[in-house]
Amino acid sequence: MIRFLVGLLLVAGAVTANAQTRPATAPPAATSRDGTPAPVSPLDGQWRGRSDGGSCNAPLDYLLVIQNGFVDGSAYDSTAHGPVPNQRKAAPPAPTPSLWQIHGLARSPGAFSLVAVASVKATDRRTGKLSVRSEGGSLVVSETSGCRRTARLTRG
């Protein structure tokens, strides 16, 4: 019985030592549902930049993340401010959106469109379209309506 236990411990120790000395393997590559490798876009990465003020004189700070061609990001107006006291007792001005959510699909050769949705209160739902084109090592984002701002984003 003791010989059996000693033999069992020796085998368990050998298996443990063998498991610890195995070389590490690389993590599996991203695959789609059918088992083929996921496509990689040349535009993949994190893009940052600041727009001009456009007709609204309100520049936006952009942050876009492109992964496998899917775009997700935001744009923030750092000049926007919250409610201010209304001394004249008149109707307050409409709030300007300060945060935009951006999403869409990136296409490498040529221009592509993105959808921007503003985060505002109440029933005031604001959406916009952005036109994006690759220019050298940067992306040029232009609003097709609204303030018509233009931004140049760099990979960062």
Q: What is the pTM of this model?
A: 0.66
Q: What distance in Å separates the CA atoms of residue 65 and residue 76, rounded to the nearest whole number?
A: 15
H or E stretch at 5? helix 2-20
Mean local confidence (pLDDT), 80-90:
70
Q: What distance in Å separates the CA atoms of residue 155 and residue 123, rounded to the nearest whole number?
A: 36
Residue 53: both structure tokens together: 């003020």
What is the domain range of residue 146? Answer: 45-78+97-155
Q: Is residue 114 part of a domain?
A: yes
Mean local confidence (pLDDT), 110-139:
86
Give me the CATH number covering residue 127: 2.40.128
pLDDT at 96: 61
What average pLDDT does the structure give for the chain? 78
Q: What distance in Å separates the CA atoms of residue 138 and residue 58, rounded to the nearest whole number?
A: 22
Q: What distance in Å separates the CA atoms of residue 114 and residue 106, rounded to the nearest whole number?
A: 8
Q: Is residue 101 part of a domain?
A: yes
- Would you say how long the chain is, in residues? 156
Give tens-digit pLDDT for 38-47. 667 789 999 9
Count structural domains, the chain: 1
Residue 135: both structure tokens together: 């220019």
Q: Is residue 73 part of a domain?
A: yes
